[in-house]
Amino acid sequence: MRTSLAIAEDDRRWLYQRFVYPSGFRRARSLLHDHGTVLIAGQPGSGRRAAALMLLHELSEGAGNFHELPDTQDDTTDRALDTALIGERDRMLLDLSSSDAERYNAVQAELSDFRSVVATRSARLVVVLPQQFDHLQRQDLHWLTAEIERPDGGRLLMRYLRRDGIHPDPADLATPQLTQYTADATMEDLAKLAGQIRRARDADGAAGDFRRWCDRAMAERADSRKPRVADFMAQLTGRQRALALSLAMFHGRDPAIVLRAANTLQDILGHPGDDRPRLDHTDLAAEFKAVEAATGKDGGVRFRVLGYDAAIRAHFWTYFSDLRQQFRDWVRDCVAWHELPQETRKELIGWFAEQCLASGRPQDLWWLAEQWAGRHAGRLLADISQALTEGLNHDGFGRAFRQRIYEWSLVAGLPRDLRQALVVVCSQVMAVRHPDQALVRLHHLARASGSGDDQAFEALLGLARKGGRLFRMLLGRLQPERWPTDAALLLAMAAVAVRTRGLFRSTAVRERLTAGWAAVLRHRPYEEWREPLADWLTAALATGPHLESLLDVVVDAAARAPGVLARLHTVARDWVPAVPAEAVERRTLFAALECRIDAAHGIEPPVPSL
């Protein structure tokens, strides 16, 4: 199974294979090479983030890490930029494209000092600027700024298609409709179009040609049907509009599901029903016909016109904006139906998320997460996780979701389902692009649980194990004297570190382990740390030339608390005969440990080498 960090690396490699170099990239590359930092400006949709990632991806791997700096101020109020996050030869991205003015100004005020540390540690930094606050950029930072312009849309589309094994003639890309679209669309929309063309190709198999695939893909875009849908919706009754929206949200599903959804929507909106006997009503086939839909051979109901479902969803959220809260309540109730299959719920949540985020209502998704978490005893855990994932993966609102999840992680007594969903999305979604922020949130969730076998605890340890930088970061956050969970984390991390060459060789890791052991030995019960301390000695036997420094860690830690050196001696003495086959090696280690304990008490002679 690939780790989240490996997945992020694969994503960069995938992007590199499809990247079209924009105007301004060469200047950005020169600034990064000469000064170690570059600020990327440009219009939304021009590919600023992709350009920033590629600038860093082009650099040699070196000894440092590739990571994204947090865009929220977690657990701190005094600094916008944390220099502790800068490692030797690190490649760092700071994406401010969705930041607010206060955050942007705070970052600019600290950027000069931050850049000095970047240079000292031979690291590299690329910052994506928020276009909406161009007027706030400080004059002294203009010289470090490179303006990225939108690359040619036709070239980008062709690059994506060729990577998917599709090789259209240039004339096929020169149709008026496609030419207009590639000239105006964002880089993200062009990537989506390439994906739709690929899926149309796959659906046709050996049949069809590029123009057929492209026509189908273009028809699936909501904006291609907007004028026709607007005229169509104006002719419908209220009941028919409810049916049309229900079908758009449950497109391709069983007629009974669409009917139930339409009735539920009418109830939520307070729309009067038909009081006539049921058999006097128009049957469902006729109702579907009135909204230009029909049931297919597979039993699913679809609009006859390709792309109608997407256009109708967009129409309702745009032109019935006063009903968005009721649409949210409707989705809450529909997802809770026991008979609704998981795959159908997943599609419904995805389409709802698309519309509420497009209309600037991220709060609707986290409201749904809270509603589903409080009522359904674990049944909707996947749906809660999906709602949060949709927001986390959104370019415009990802930061808002990371901030909301941070606020949740600080709340004691969260509903169990919401808490479990937060663990899932932090460890599996947020950790891909924002592992530092994921670690902070998981740490708070683990502390709230107060249990060493909790899901948040295990997810946090799993994330910390994925890289030395994250391991050091978590060690630096631990406060065993205040939090029992932190004590359990320290002992678990010590067991990992003493068996991992890349960790126990690090002076920074040993220093933080010494401080952590000292807090545990001083503030936690003897029974809690006796076995982990014996395990440390066992693991230290296999570390060769590093054995001495690992003994120093526990002796230095014990020396900071009165009476603990004697208990360390007792633990080591009882540990020696536990494995007769290792008796010689263990006695040798014990002798060296005794000398260090004597030295800590001020007793000569000096500590001998092993």
Sheet hosting strand 37-41, strand order edge to edge:
66-68, 91-95, 124-128, 37-41, 145-147
Alpha helices in 121-175 (DSSP H): 153-163
| pLDDT at res. 2 | 40
| pLDDT at res. 10 | 84
User: Taking 70 as the threshold, does the pLDDT of residue 452 lie above it?
Assistant: no
Domain 4-147 architecture? 3-Layer(aba) Sandwich (3.40)
Phi first, then psi, for residue 37 (nearest 5°) are: -145, 145
Question: How far is the CA of 524 from the CAs of 370, 479, 513, in angstroms?
Answer: 36, 12, 15
Q: Across-strand partners of 295? A: 301
Q: Which residue matches tokens 């490996």?
A: 6
Q: Cα dihedral sign for 130, 134, 140, 142?
A: positive
H or E stretch covering 106: helix 101-120
User: Taking 90 as the threshold, does the pLDDT of residue 365 lie above it?
Assistant: yes
Contacts (Cβ under 8 Å, ≥6 apart) of 329: 268
SS (H, E, C) 445-472: HHHHHCCCCCHHHHHHHHHHCCCHHHHH
| pLDDT at res. 207 | 67
Rounded average pLDDT over 51-74: 85
Q: Name the pLDDT band for 271 (thresholds 50, 70, 90).
A: confident
The domain limits of the chain are: 4-147, 153-220, 226-339, 362-471, 478-610
| pLDDT at res. 71 | 84
Q: Name the pLDDT band for 602 (thresholds 50, 70, 90).
A: confident
pTM comes to 0.88
User: Taking 90 as the threshold, does the pLDDT of residue 279 lie above it?
Assistant: no
User: Taking 60 as the threshold, does the pLDDT of residue 173 lie above it?
Assistant: yes
Alpha helices in 426-525 (DSSP H): 431-433, 435-449, 455-464, 468-477, 484-497, 501-504, 507-523
Query: Residue 27 has which token pair?
Result: 């200047």
Mean pLDDT taken over the chain? 90
- How far is the C-alpha of 504 from the C-alpha of 511, rounded, in Å? 10
User: Taking 90 as the threshold, does the pLDDT of residue 561 lie above it?
Assistant: no
Query: Residue 196 has which token pair?
Result: 């739709």
| pLDDT at res. 1 | 34
Residue 141 DSSP class: G
CB of 238 closer than 8 Å to CB of 262 = no
| pLDDT at res. 169 | 86
